[in-house]
Structures are given as C-alpha cells and as structure tokens.
Amino acid sequence: MARAGRAGTVKRVSGKRTVTEDVDGEASGPWDRRLHIVTGKGGTGKTTMAGALAVALATGGRRILLTEVEGRQQIAQLFDTPPLPYQERKVASAPGGGEVFALAIDADEALLEYLEMFYNLRRAGKALGKIGAVDFATTVAPGVRDVLLTGKVKEAVNRPDATRPGGLAYDAVVLDAPPTGRISRFLNVTAEVAGLAKMGPIRAQADSVMAVLRPERAAVHLVTLLEEMPVQETVDAVAELTRVGLPLGGVIVNMARSPLLKVNQSRLARRGELDREEIVAGIKEAGLEPTRELVDALAWEASQHADRVALETAERAEIAALGRPVYEVPLVADGVDVGTIYRFAEMLRAQQMVG
Amino acid sequence: MDSTPGDDRPQAETSSRSSRSAAKPAKATSAASGAKGTRRRSAGSAARSVGPAPRRVRPHPAGAPLLDVDAMLDTERIIVCCGSGGVGKTTTAAALALRAAERGRDVVVLTIDPARRLAQSLGLTALDNTPREVAGVDGTAGGRLDAMMLDMKRTFDEIVLAHSSPERAEALLANPFYQSLSSSFSGTQEYMAMEKLGQLDATGEWDLIVVDTPPTRSALDFLDAPTRLGTFLDGRLLRLLLAPAKAGGRAYAKVLGAGIGMFTRVITKVLGAQLLMDLSQFVAALETMFGGFRARAEETYRLLGNPGTSFVVVAAPEAAALREASYFVDRLDAEGMPLAGLVVNRMHHSDAVALTVERSLAAAEKLDEHGEHPLAAAVLRIHAERVRLASREARLRDRFTSAHPDTPLVEVEALSEDVHDLAGLREIGYALARVERLERAG
C-alpha cells in the first residue's frame, strides 16, 4: 500500500479501500512549509482544521503560530480560551514539548504597528484614526487591508529569534484564512493593490508578501465537506489558485461518515428494502424489544445513512479527480472540543500531512 | 407487516412513515406533526433513491414559539434572510420566495451568490442585474416568481451613470479607486444589495421582495456595511480630501491647518502621491454626484425598519452559526429591526430516541460478540450515531432558545442531498411551513 495522503489518494476513514495514484512532479505532502494557509467554504470547519494542523505541526517539540484575520475570535473559541488580544499568546501544548501560539490579527492594529515600524509614526497614526484615515486605509481600500493582514503574517513567518534553533521565532505559521470565495484575492495582494499603488511602500510590502507565498515556502490547504457545494467551491478554488499561481497544498475532507453498512445492504437500504426480519431477529437477540415503530425508525435511519454515504462517495470521487493529496477526518457526532483538535492532529500526522 | 387501519397508502410507504404515530413519551412531539405521517421526497430525486422518505416535518421543540412562515409570506412586503456563510441562506430565501409565489403573490427574489445549479434552476444563467421570471412556477393561485442575481459592480455603475453627465461618469468609472471600491470593498456588496432592494421596492411591481444577504464573514457586517460606507463617503476624512479638489492646492493647507498637513504627509509616504490624487479626484466626483451617501444609507435603514419588513435569521445546528444567529437577533432587537424568527436548517432527528446511544451501542456489541446478525448491529450503530448527532443539535438549539425564549423558530430536517431544482425548493417550503404530506394531497 502506498503512503497515505499522496496525490490522487482516496483514503477512507474506515481504511477499507485505498486507491493511490501518485502524480509525479507535483508538490505533495508531507508539507514541510514555513506558512500553511487553511481555507474552505463557510461551515466546513476551516478553523478546526487550522487548529488541528497547528497542533500536528507542533508535535515533537516545534513552536507554531496560529493566526486568524477575520476578527471573529474563532481560535479563542476553538481552544476554549479568553478572546485573544493583538498579541501572541500560547493557547496549546503539543505532544513532545510542542507549543502553539495564537494571534488574532487586526487590520487597524497592524496599520499602526506598520506605521510605527517603518516610519516611527505611531502617534501620528493614532491621530489619523480620529479623523477616519485608519478606517479608510483598512476598510475602504480593500487591497491595503489585505496587505496589512498578510504583511503581519509574513512578518511572523520571517521573524528572527537568535535564541531558537533555526534562528526563527516560529518553526511554521498556520493561517486560518478567509473562505474559498475570497482566498485568491486575499492572497494575491500584488495584483490587488496594483491598481491603487503602482509603486511606493504599499507595493513593496505587497511584493514582500508574495515572496513568502512561493511554493517551497507556503501551501494553501482547502477544507471541504463531502457535499456538493463545498466540493464545487473546492474545485473552483483549485482552478483559481492555480490560475493566479498561488501554491496549492492538500485537500482536507472534514466530517466524513464512516460507512456502517455493507455495499449490498446499503443498496437495499436506499431502496427501502432492508431485510426487516433479520433486523427484528437481531434486535431480539440483543435483548431489545423489536416493536414495529422501532424497526421502522431504524430502517429509515439506515436509508438516510446509506443515502448520505452514497452522496459522499460521489463527492469523494470529485475531490480525488483534482489530483491533490487528500486527508480525511471523520464526523464527530458529539461536536468538536479541544480533545477533538488533538485527535484530528494525530489523524493528520498518521496520514502524513506533516512530516 | 400490519398496516394502520384506515390507512390507504401502499404498504411500502407505511412501513417507514407510520412510525411517527408511535411517539414515545420521552419525545416531545407536537400535535401538529404527530398525526399525519410524513412526506416523501420529491419526484426529482426518485432516480437516486426510492427508499423511505426523509421526514422534513420534524417535531417542533417544546417551549419555543413556532415561526409562522405562511403568515409572513402572505402579508409581508420585504423579507431579508441573513445569517453566517454556509448555513443554507440562499436556498432558504429561494424556497420562501417560491412558496409565496405559489400561494398567489407576485414575488421577486434577490440572490447574491447562489450555487451554480440552484441559479440554473431559477433561470439565473445571465448576470444582467434585472429580474427575470422563473419558469416552472405553479401560477394557479395567481402569483409569479421573478429572480435576479446581484451584480454589485454593475449596480454601482448604474448609480453613477444615472446621476451624472456622461463625461463625469466616464472619468469616475475609470478611476482606480472607484474600481476598487465598486468591486471589492467588503461593504459594497451589502450596500448595493440594499440599493437594489430600494430600487425594486420603488417600482411597486412586486407584492413581496425576498432578499438573500451577502456571504459576509459575520452576519453583523450586513447591518453595519451600509452605514459604514455611508459614513465613510460622507465623513470628515472625505471632506478633508475634498478640499484640494475644491479649493486648489494652495488653499488646501491654509484651510485645514496642521492636521491635514500631517495627514497628507503620512498618506503620501505610505500610499504614494499618485494614489492621493486619484483618491481626491474620486471623492470629488462622488460628492457632486450623490450629495450625501449617508442620507441614502439612512433611507435604506428606514426601509428595513418599516412595518412590512421581516428579518429571517438562518442558521445551521453548529455552535458558530448559532452564536452568530444569537448576536444577530440581539442586534436586530437593539436596532429596532423587525425580526420574524430563526430558521434552523439541517437538523437531524430520530423517531426512536427512547433507544439511547448507550443501549444501542451495547446491543450492537453484544451481537458482534456472537458474530451474529451483522445487519442489525450495523443498523444499531447507525442509530447511535444519529441520536448522538440529534442530541447535540438539540442542545445547541436549546442554548439559543434559552437565551432568546421569545424568538419564534422553525427547524428543517437535513436532506441527504443538495437542493437544485424547484421541486427541491418546494419541499423546503413545505418543511418551513410545516405542511404534512396528506394535507397537501387533500
């Protein structure tokens, strides 16, 4: 059996079937990159997967920074910590002495920091805030806003720290990025500010961000569910990111159902033709009372399950056709908590998403 | 297999559907959903599945007021669907609009970013920013459905063209600031959706306008954006920036003093001089053209607060989506905006909750030990997973209802496939209005 998570791999959670077809010459995992950008359609669990990836990367003693840029404090909610200030703080430990720090990047703060760092203009910046200039720069000129956000990410990626092995403050940075619909515009900052700033510092900043987004330094991972719309968005995003030359990473399938019925039973369940006598006999054997209502309910639930698994199988094939490395984590019926993050991190490691 | 007396449905149907009547005491089944059996999936999906139907009319949760969807559809003039991304907002908006049209009203649905196949089913193949009649709508009640997809840039361009001379319009349309603002400012889409809503409303052509809101990062953006854009375009900064264009370079510094000097210094340093000139030109053009964006934003706001408007907050049973819904409900309340209620999509439910997760799994394990009845064991495991999912979703929903005990809501059962035709939208409409299969037939 070939390694899991390679290009073209279809790997079911159950591990029952593995189809592998490596695509040579394409970048593929394990993803040893300085910057991991995690995107996905809204509701696919992008933040959860960014958190799991950060823990997976930190495992074994590395120091990782997990960042978010949309002002929603999702990292704090994920790790069950108080809201993050504009300041890096440790939110989790990983097995083997690893550490995950987190930062919620705020465009206004990033602008002030930027003014201070490059022009020693923090006070002027604050004064400008009063007349709405900061608002202007960060809100109305959208390219500028994105340059500030990605610029801060870039700064963290490149930040030196002589006291650490490797000489860098973080071994890698994980960005919980805007959703797939906006990702290529968000990252393709040079093009975005081109109309606004043909030269000058904003342009230079944009160019330095693009330098971090080279394939050997960064990867954009796409989170999806096995449903039509998220898969369609993933397919579109792969095309769009490729078109603008941004470095593609893997596809992470979230909330995959493990097929619990055998293939032939599944077919019967979808037709409403499951062997009810057999279910009744089994339920009796297990010491439960096989009322008609119970058997009806169970048969209906089995058909729903079979329908869902069939849909997922079809969507999984669409994902596999992208030829990207695919990683998969299961549906957690009880809901995601901090423990889930660690479980998912272990799964991503087991599928060799990270080295 | 015995059939309920007097039940004239074919047995195959009965087997899966009559289970509803067997509500266990543990289950808080409302009378409305308890009696009549459930609906089958639409003909459109028959090719994929002819099995037992998903039951979309779920038991309504005890203690929460029910959102009366039909009453809303029959009386309101504007319905705004909002919620965070990925919760089925567009589908809900389209389903509401279709149902209102088939109940006899002239309806237009303004969608922002529909999934490709849903757009196709609504005939939204061309992005021409004009409502088009949707084919295949049942017009026997005298209604019709038009649909349009918002083209944000085009809407903005149209405002420019409508409010200025051709030369001025041309200069503005070519300005890089205008181009950036009109195509990518995070608030422009929201603002233009409101602008379009105002335009559609002004025509008086429709009884009801259903608006889907942009997939903003947060549901709150939608309420904030029009004012934000209005404030910006009408704000102090713009007045400062306007000064040079109005008074010429020299008067500029004199009029505004040291503050603006510092401002231009910083802006020039950070953004470059060319950019400042473009901006100044852009702002000057805008001001002569609109004379008060804020007034426009306020007008939009008033329209939204009017009687005849209802907000429907859409959520999925996920912690983040319901948290957003919660914030949004509070915010609407604080703004005095008329909230109709909450739609929770994609809920799962079980007809056999009396068989708990633990007992179900224990039973499955017992069968496994003896290596017998693998089908029954599998079915018990499926049941355990479903009950687990259903209880988590119910817990999340309860959290919302305890914080908002007076907010009416309606739940829609999860479908095992996506909706992309009118038949599917109609089914969602039935689920929203809690119409049972048999009522529909009669």
Tell whether A140 is within 8 A of chain B (Cβ): yes
Q: Where are the alpha helices (DSSP H) in A213-291?
A: 228-243, 263-270, 276-285
> Across the beta sheet with A248-256, what order do the strands follow?
A89-94, A98-104, A63-68, A172-176, A35-40, A218-224, A248-256, A326-330
Share of chain A above pLDDT 70, in %: 83
List of chain A residues whose C-beta atoms are within 8 Å of the C-beta of residue B226: none
Closest CA to B353 of B13, B56, B22, B16: B22
Tell whether A119 is within 8 A of chain B (Cβ): yes
pLDDT grade for A229, boundaries at 50, 70 and 90:
confident
Work out the end-to-end distance of chain B between its first and last CA atoms, rounded to an integer number of angstroms. Answer: 27
Q: What is the distance between the alpha carbons of residues A131 and B22, in angstroms, rounded to a whole number?
A: 66
Question: With 60 as the cut, is the pLDDT of residue A241 above it?
Answer: yes
Q: Which of B85, B380, B389 sits opposite A42 (nearest CB)?
A: B85
pLDDT of residue A252: 98
Share of chain B above pLDDT 70, in %: 66
Can you spell out the DSSP letters for B295-336? HHHHHHHHHHHSTTEEEEEEE-SSHHHHHHHHHHHHHHHHTT
pLDDT of residue A315: 96
pLDDT grade for A147, boundaries at 50, 70 and 90:
confident
Would you list the domain boundaries of chain B? 72-351+387-429
User: How many Cβ contacts (< 8 angstroms) between chains A and B?
Assistant: 273
Share of chain A above pLDDT 90, in %: 65
Helix (H) or strand (E) holding B145: strand B144-149
List of chain B residues whose C-beta atoms are within 8 Å of the C-beta of residue A76: none
Beta strands in chain A (DSSP E): 10-11, 18-19, 35-40, 63-68, 89-94, 98-104, 172-176, 218-224, 248-256, 326-330
List of chain B residues whose C-beta atoms are within 8 Å of the C-beta of residue A71: 217-218
Q: What is the distance between the alpha carbons of residues B187 and B179, in angstroms, rounded to a whole number?
A: 14
Closest CA to B325 of B341, B336, B348, B338: B341
Q: Name the residue with tokens 């017992």.
A: B366
Q: Do B367 and A127 touch (CB under 8 A)?
A: no
Q: What is the DSSP letter of A64?
A: E
Would you list the domain boundaries of chain A? 10-106+151-259+321-350
Helix (H) or strand (E) holding B209: strand B208-212
List of chain B residues whose C-beta atoms are within 8 Å of the C-beta of residue A331: 385, 389
Q: Which of B51, B263, B388 sits opposite A272 (nearest CB)?
A: B51
Q: What is the distance between the alpha carbons of residues A266 and A256, in angstroms, rounded to a whole number?
A: 17
Q: What is the CATH number of domain B72-351+387-429?
A: 3.40.50.300
Q: What is the distance between the alpha carbons of residues B291 and B303, in angstroms, rounded to a whole number?
A: 20
List of chain B residues whose C-beta atoms are within 8 Å of the C-beta of residue A72: 217-218
- Provide the whole-model pTM: 0.81
Tell whether A299 is within 8 A of chain B (Cβ): yes
CB-CB contact of A271 with A302 (8 Å): no
* pLDDT tens-digit map of B324-369: 899 889 988 888 889 999 999 999 999 999 999 999 999 999 999 9
Tell whether A46 is within 8 A of chain B (Cβ): no
Tell whether A355 is within 8 A of chain B (Cβ): no
* pLDDT tens-digit map of A51-69: 999 999 999 999 999 999 9
pLDDT grade for B419, boundaries at 50, 70 and 90:
confident
| Integer angstrom CA distances of residue A301 from A202, A292, B17, B52, B416 | 57, 14, 12, 9, 11
Please tell me which residue, B374 or B122, carries the higher pLDDT value: B374
- The fold adopted by the segment(s) A10-106+151-259+321-350 is Rossmann fold (3.40.50)
Question: With 50 as the cut, is the pLDDT of residue A6 above it?
Answer: no
Lowest mean pLDDT among B225-234, B333-342, B403-412: B225-234
Average confidence score pLDDT of chain A: 86
Question: With 90 as the cut, is the pLDDT of residue A129 above it?
Answer: no
Closest CA to B269 of A189, A197, A193: A197
The SS3 of residue A280 is helix
Q: Do A279 and B418 touch (CB under 8 A)?
A: no
Q: What is the distance between the alpha carbons of residues B386 and B348, in angstroms, rounded to a whole number?
A: 7
Q: Do B186 and A139 touch (CB under 8 A)?
A: yes
List of chain B residues whose C-beta atoms are within 8 Å of the C-beta of residue A304: 54, 386, 416
Q: Which residue of A has its CA nearest to B47?
A: A271
CB-CB contact of A192 with A146 (8 Å): yes
Q: How far is B4 from chain A (nearest CA, A)?
A: 11
Closest CA to A201 of A119, A305, A125: A119
Instruction: Provide the angle, in degrees to the nearest 10, between the axes of the packed helices A142-158 and B176-184.
Output: 80
